[in-house]
């Protein structure tokens, strides 16, 4: 990407909201570019946080290995999401591994450059607090759901959250435009693969969702899913 192309990417990124065009250009000039093919990782959990990243195109799945060696899906990330910035600022090793689930183009800044740019343009740092704060809220909402709701409601809430964040309106409903396995859903809702499969099969039969093999999951009747998510 040349500098104007990078600026076009950066001006839609929440982290850089409110920056003037000349400021965005300065940020774009300091970036390195990385391409990832589907199946590659951007970095590995435990590595030194030497760079912070912004995802330009593509999708990542953020995986975390627990001390027991189990895998937990933390979140899915799409264009405009920041990756690794917190670890850079906290000077801790990366706490998770971002795996490309589509081909990706990523902009990268060294750790020193990240802090320097935030100091030169404090709006970036203020935006970063807001972005990371949004993640706190999302995680707290998931914890509240797990603590208080039946499994069926948690699965409904999780699907609606993903549809809100990344959904694409298509004929037949709202499509979640990346591969999400039943196992991913089980990890995200703290339940078993069996329960997720049973719940989704029931919803498919009722026409609430459709998820044929080889295609993405589509929410055919979002209002029914909202009803399930909200029922006490």
Minimum distance from residue 111 beta carbon to a second copy (Å): 12
Q: Which is nearer to a second copy, 63 or 175 (CB)?
A: 63
What does the binding site for a second copy look like in residue numbers (CB under 8 A)?
64, 66-68, 70, 72, 74, 85-87, 89-90, 95-96, 115, 118-119, 122-123, 125-126, 128-130, 132-137, 139-140, 142-144, 146-148, 187-188, 190, 230, 232
Give the nearer residue to a second copy in terms of CB position, either 5 or 139. Answer: 139
Least distance between a second copy and beta carbon 149 (Å): 8
Would you say 121 or 203 has its CB closer to a second copy? 121
Least separation in angstroms between residue 158's CB and a second copy is: 12
When the beta carbons of 62 and 220 are compared against a second copy, the nearer one is: 62
Q: Closest separation between CB of residue 132 and a second copy, Å?
A: 4
Compute the least distance from the CB of residue 95 to a second copy, in Å.
6
Please, how many CA atoms are within 13 Å of residue 164, restricted to the half-sphere of its CB?
Answer: 9
Q: Considering the complex, state which of residue 6 and residue 75 has its C-beta at the smaller distance from a second copy.
A: 75
Give the DSSP letter string of the chain.
Answer: --HHHHHHHHTT-GGGTT--HHHHHHHHHT-EEEEE-TT-BSS-TTS---EEEEEEES-EEEEEE-TTS-EEEEEEE-TT-EESHHHHHHT---SSEEEESS-EEEEEEEHHHHHHHHHHSHHHHHHHHHHHHHHHHHHHHHHHHHHHS-HHHHHHHHHHHHHHHH-EEETTEEE--S---HHHHHHHTTS-HHHHHHHHHHHHHTTSEE--TTS--EES-HHHHHHHHH--
């Amino acid at each position: 990407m040349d500098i104007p192309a990078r600026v076009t990417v950066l001006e839609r990124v929440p982290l850089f909201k409110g920056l003037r065009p000349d400021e965005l250009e300065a940020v774009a000039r300091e970036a390195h570019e990385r391409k990832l093919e589907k199946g590659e990782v951007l970095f590995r959990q435990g590595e030194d946080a030497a760079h912070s990243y912004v995802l330009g195109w593509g999708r990542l799945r953020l995986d975390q290995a627990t001390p027991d060696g189990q895998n937990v899906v933390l979140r899915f990330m799409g264009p405009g999401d920041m990756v690794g910035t917190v670890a850079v600022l906290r000077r801790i090793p990366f706490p998770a591994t971002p795996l490309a689930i589509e081909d990706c183009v990523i902009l990268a800044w060294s750790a020193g450059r990240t802090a320097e740019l935030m100091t030169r343009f404090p709006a970036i740092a203020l935006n970063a607090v807001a972005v990371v704060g949004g993640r706190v809220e999302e995680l707290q909402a998931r914890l509240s759901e797990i603590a208080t709701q039946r499994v069926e409601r948690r699965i409904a809430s999780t699907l609606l959250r993903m549809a809100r964040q990344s959904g694409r309106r298509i004929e037949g409903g709202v499509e979640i435009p990346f591969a999400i396995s039943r196992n991913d859903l089980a990890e995200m809702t703290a339940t078993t693969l069996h329960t997720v499969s049973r719940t989704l099969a029931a919803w498919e039969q009722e026409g609430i969702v459709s998820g044929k093999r080889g295609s993405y999951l589509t929410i055919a009747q979002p209002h029914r899913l909202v009803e399930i998510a909200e029922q006490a």
